[in-house]
Structure 1
Amino acid sequence: MTEQVQGRRVALVTGAARRVGACIARRLHADGYDVALHARRSLDELGAVARELDAARPGSTHTLVADLDDAGAPQALVDGVLARFGRLDALVNNASTFHRTPVGSITLADWDGLFASNARAPLFLAQAAADALRTGRGAIVNIVDIYAERPLPGFSVYCMAKAALGAMTLALARELAPDVRVNGVAPGAVLWPENGDDYARRDELVARTPLARTGSPEDIAGAVAWLLHDAPFVTGQILRIDGGRSLAI
């Protein structure tokens, strides 16, 4: 086991190779955490983020590759973090699968895949991490979605899975208290889906957002960082980081 630097906190971020997950990892690292970075397929990007952060503080990162659809992946990830760093203070359940499931075309594979990544894996990661988090009076942040409360047409299974993640956030906040705080962040329009090129709809969405702009990954990362280490009396909350978008849905 690698010797742990005294007092340095450790965070596990799933889906940390790209987009919002990479931004969260960078923010927590800048805040002094050692970071365990998980990815499933984006291995080149994962390595690049790890090298970037290690260059800033040598020995401060660890990469983990796993498919969260696999039943054994959550325990293996937590075991890998503890083997490398000897502790775990923060879990950020960011990894997610997102695709359309119009009613009439929904399959069992859609259901299983969307629930596996968005609800089942976060639950079993939290369960696997609970003892280590209790030891350090740590915290969990789940990345939910404003559409968990106000479903997006054509994406019913995704919205249902994120709603389950929201319910899990509240349930674990009660069950893991007082030693572990559990909260969520519900982003609005932050990064447009990479396969989404409906610019007219994007402009319409922005026009209906009270702050009249999309958010940034840094907005989400800042909320996660606040919940993890600057909000010691906050648990069981899901923060909407959406520029007011949920007011206009």
Structure 2
Amino acid sequence: MSSPRVTLVTGAAQGIGAGIARQLVGDGWQVCLVDRAEEKLGRVEESFPAGTVAAMAADVSDPAQAARAVEEARSRFGRLDGLVSNAGIMVSAPVEQLSTSDWDRVLATNLSATFHLVRTAANHLREGGGSIVTIASTRAHMSEPDTEAYAASKGGLVALTHALAISLGPRIRVNCVSPGWIETEGYGELRPVDHAQHPAGRVGKVADVAQAVSFLLDGDRSGFVTGSEFVVDGGMTRKMIYAE
């Protein structure tokens, strides 16, 4: 009997990252949970069945910590078959007031971290023919005011995804999931109009993103898919909206 496949998920202490980890464990993967929020990460780790996950506190915007997380993941489970680069932050401010340090911090976490992780993980992923999934955003294609750093980071992540797919193929597939409005913990009660404005009829759920990631990681189901962006937004980016 072969050992379970192993993947690393960043930003796994809450929200979409934690939901992706739960989906993958349910699919039979072992998952390395990575996040800089050590206390939250510990609580999430305790919610999984014993032996299915391992938690590693790391700030993946730092190249050394990102590399260490990858190496430790492989060391703990003996293999690495997947990487889900999900960690992300947002700073919202008028562009005239957006500090260079905040700009750099968002780009380092949302974009550069993927580069740092892949640079270390690539050789491990080649061994078994692995898969990388990045988590971008529909903000790569559409914006609200005062989100320049976030939009730039997510747009860069979409481009980095297809660049990596060409460079790392055929042994490693690289794809991107771009969520729209996804209801995570901390949201207040959603209004009927929040759901009704979506062509799909509802706001997204964490499971919608997690299931897309599950598909893209699994070479048996998505072996002919690489360099692609999967937009999971209930159709909102395809909807024309003009003031009446």
* TM-score above 0.5: yes
CA distance in 2 between partners of 1:150 and 1:60 (Å): 38
Q: CA deviation at 1:6?
A: 3.2
Where does the alignment leave 5 or more consecutive residues of structure 2 unmatched?
Answer: none
Cα RMSD of the aligned pairs, angstroms, is 2.0
Residue 145 (str. 1) matches residue 137 (str. 2): yes
The one-letter code matched in structure 2 to 1:45 is K
Q: Find the counterpart in structure 1 of residue 55 from structure 2.
A: 63
Q: CA deviation at 1:152?
A: 2.5
- Would you say the 8 A contact 2:182–2:203 is kept in 1? yes
CA distance in 2 between partners of 1:115 and 1:205 (Å): 30
The one-letter code matched in structure 2 to 1:120 is S
1:23 is aligned, of 19, 22, 28, to 19
Give runs of aligned pairs for residues 72-87 of structure 1, distance below 5 A. Answer: 72-87=64-79
Q: Find the counterpart in structure 2 of residue 238 from structure 1.
A: 229
- Would you say the 8 A contact 2:41–2:57 is kept in 1? no
The Cα offsets for residues 181-238 of structure 1, whole Å up to 9 and x where unpaired, read as 00000000002695x8797xx7665443212311000000000000111211100001
Q: Find the counterpart in structure 2 of residue 224 from structure 1.
A: 213
2:45 is aligned, of 41, 50, 59, to 50
- Would you say the 8 A contact 2:82–2:130 is kept in 1? yes
- Would you say the 8 A contact 2:59–2:66 is kept in 1? no
1:209 is aligned, of 198, 203, 212, to 198
CA distance in 2 between partners of 1:100 and 1:245 (Å): 22
Residue 115 (str. 1) matches residue 111 (str. 2): no
Of 74-83 and 206-215, deviating more is: 206-215
Residues matched between the structures, number:
238
| Partner SS state of residue 51, structure 2 | coil
CA distance in 2 between partners of 1:33 and 1:214 (Å): 28
2:95 is aligned, of 98, 103, 106, to 103
User: Measured at CA, do residues 170 and 78 of structure 1 come closer, stay the same or move farther in structure 2, by a change above 3 Å?
Assistant: same
Residue 94 (str. 1) matches residue 86 (str. 2): yes
Identical counterparts, % of pairs? 39
CA distance in 2 between partners of 1:8 and 1:198 (Å): 39
Q: Find the counterpart in structure 2 of residue 7 from structure 1.
A: 3
- Would you say the 8 A contact 1:101–1:110 is kept in 2? no
Where does the alignment leave 5 or more consecutive residues of structure 1 unmatched?
Answer: none
CA distance in 2 between partners of 1:101 and 1:135 (Å): 44
| Partner SS state of residue 8, structure 2 | strand
Q: CA deviation at 1:104?
A: 1.1
CA distance in 2 between partners of 1:37 and 1:94 (Å): 11
CA distance in 1 between partners of 2:30 and 2:68 (Å): 19
User: Measured at CA, do residues 104 and 218 of structure 1 come closer, stay the same or move farther in structure 2, by a change above 3 Å?
Assistant: same
Q: Find the counterpart in structure 2 of residue 189 from structure 1.
A: 181
